[in-house]
Structure 1
């Protein structure tokens, strides 16, 4: 794959070419020249795009593709195409499939399905057998098959001893344990944030306390056991402060936040629109402000689209019975670039790989091309026309966003809209 990018502004704080507008020559998938002007003497494919900006390829630490078992929601093939057109060169795929990904064979199957794509697919194995929270799954075997972490997607581990054993066992081979931050007995039947909004709508509330109690428990366990812990999709102000204090104590903990939890407060629920039914639930503006501060000061390590396609039969129903989840890959950059500066948005979108054991390198000569191409200045209303996913349960539908994606160059392939 040989291609010449013309007049591309590089956004990569770790690169010597940061903030420079240059031509970038890629030969056989490797960056061979970066200069103010490069003559196309070999008649390679040239890419000229309006206000072209280039960064390291983006990474999403939590996507769900359905396959195997829920292909009506999304297939791996279409999911990876969606990720590419959304600017992501690498994604970590959750184990919430049918059957659940909890064995060497399951992980091998997913990796084989993801081969020969521009986007690199990294499977996350289930933490417990069938994600039932009863017995540890074959963690070491899945690690050897290629699993980058272990997580029962959006299912809290109720048994603290099981979590303790998981942290201790995985520490022997450097495995990353993920724990969904929710105390189920406190959550009860809550479906939205416990607040005056839930009361006024007559919906059962899920209090901040449910998230924070689970985080406190897991941090105590981590301090006792050692190991590596990742807390996905935190949503409350107190959660940020708890993790900040844990990092000051040098605990090996990381966390993420879903992009929609940075954008929407629970006030949008007044219309009972089920596209806003997500877990953790949308919280208050005070929580949003603190989450953004947590991103800025490094307490929160990464953001995720938490892309979770749900078929219409399970989403377009009464609010109490609708499934949780939203697609988010297609709107991820536009949403994040709306609430943060472009530099910070790109910095966050290119973080996280190392935590999952995935190598990343700055844009430089001799480096394999793994690039995202985008325009940070465009503004538009996100509609179904921008959706590439099979499912259409988009929380950002009809929302004004800033910044659009052209595509990616990765694994010796060019994918552009």
Structure 2
């Protein structure tokens, strides 16, 4: 791959050219020259785009597509196309498929489906067999096949001894164990946050306590085992406080928050729109403020779109019976920029790579090119026309967002919109 990128503002704190506007010459996929004006004697393909900004390629630690088993929701091929169009050069793919991804051959299947793609697919294997929470899956076998973490997607491990054994066993090969933060005996049949809004709407609530009990339990187990834990998608102020305290104790714990839990509160559910039925549920403004503060001070390590396509038959039903989940790759950048500065947004979208075994490739001479191209200043209303996913369950539909993605250059491939 030989290209010349013209007049790109570089947003990369690890780059020698951070915060400057430069031309970049790329030969055989490697950055060979960075300067204010580079001529093109070899007639390489030139990339010139309005208000072009570039950064290290973005990473999302929690996406779902559907394939195998739920291709009506989305396929791996189209999911990776969606990720590329949304600016992501790598995604960690959850195991909520049919059958569940819980063996060496399943991981190998995912890797084969993503071969020769601009987007790197990082498979996340199930923590337990068929994600039933009863017996550990083949963790080491999946690890050797390329699994980057182990997670029963949106299914809490109710047995604390099983979680203890998982943390101990995975630590033998530096495996990352993920635990969904919810105590089902407390959450019961709740469908939204337990608060005055749920009372007004007559919907059963999921108390913040259901999340916080599980977080506290898992942190106690981690302190005992000395393993390596990731808590995906926390949503309450108390969870932030618990993890902040755990980090002061030097426990090996990371956590993420969904972008929609930073943006919306439970008051968004007043018209019973099932696009807003997500897990964990949307919480209160107090929780949102605490989550944003946790992001700013580094307690929360990464943000995720928690992209989860759900077909219309599972969403266009009564709120109580609708499936949880929203798509979020396409709106991730635009939504984050309504909350944070462009530099903080890029920082959040590039964090988390090392936790999932990815190298951060900086924008410097001699480095392989792995970048996202974007215009941070474009303002627009997010609509169905922005959606590339097969499923259209977008929580950000009709929201005013800021920042458009041009595409990515990664794995020696150019994928521009």
TM (norm. structure 1) is 1.00
Q: Which residue is equivalent to 1:145?
A: 145
Q: Distance in 1 between matches of 2:333 and 2:326?
A: 15
Q: Which residue is equivalent to 2:251?
A: 251
Q: CA deviation at 1:83?
A: 0.1
Q: Distance in 1 between matches of 2:405 and 2:268?
A: 27
Q: Which residue is equivalent to 2:69?
A: 69
Cα deviation 1:328-362 (Å, max 9, x = unaligned): 00000000111111100000100101001111121
Q: Which residue is equivalent to 1:272?
A: 272
Cα deviation 1:363-382 (Å, max 9, x = unaligned): 11111100000011110000
Q: Which residue is equivalent to 1:415?
A: 415
Q: Distance in 2 between matches of 1:392 and 1:82?
A: 12
Q: Distance in 1 between matches of 2:197 and 2:40?
A: 60
Residue 128 of structure 1 pairs with residue 149 of structure 2: no
Q: Which residue is equivalent to 1:172?
A: 172
The gaps in structure 1 that reach 5 residues or longer are none
The SS at the match of 1:92 is: strand
The SS at the match of 2:157 is: coil
Residue 18 of structure 1 pairs with residue 18 of structure 2: yes
Q: Output aligned runs, 1:30-109, within 5 Å.
A: 30-109=30-109
Q: CA deviation at 1:214?
A: 0.1
Q: Distance in 2 between matches of 1:288 and 1:345?
A: 17
Q: CA deviation at 1:297?
A: 0.5
Q: CA deviation at 1:60?
A: 0.2
User: Does structure 1 retain, via aligned residues, the 8 Å contact 2:33–2:365?
Assistant: yes
Residue 119 of structure 1 pairs with residue 119 of structure 2: yes
Q: Which residue is equivalent to 1:200?
A: 200
Q: Distance in 2 between matches of 1:39 and 1:358?
A: 33
The SS at the match of 2:313 is: helix
The SS at the match of 1:339 is: coil
Once superposed, what is the RMSD of the aligned Cα atoms? 0.5
Q: Distance in 2 between matches of 1:28 and 1:336?
A: 33
Q: Distance in 1 between matches of 2:3 and 2:90?
A: 21
User: Does structure 1 retain, via aligned residues, the 8 Å contact 2:58–2:87?
Assistant: yes
Cα deviation 1:176-196 (Å, max 9, x = unaligned): 000000000000000000000
Q: Which residue is equivalent to 2:351?
A: 351
Cα deviation 1:226-249 (Å, max 9, x = unaligned): 110000000001110100000000
Cα deviation 1:179-217 (Å, max 9, x = unaligned): 000000000000000000000000000010000000000
The gaps in structure 2 that reach 5 residues or longer are none
Residue 369 of structure 1 pairs with residue 366 of structure 2: no
Q: Output aligned runs, 1:263-342, within 5 Å.
A: 263-342=263-342
Q: CA deviation at 1:99?
A: 0.3
Q: Distance in 2 between matches of 1:326 and 1:178?
A: 20
Report the number of matched residues.
417
Cα deviation 1:110-161 (Å, max 9, x = unaligned): 0000111000000000000000000000000000000000000000000000
Q: Which residue is equivalent to 1:2?
A: 2
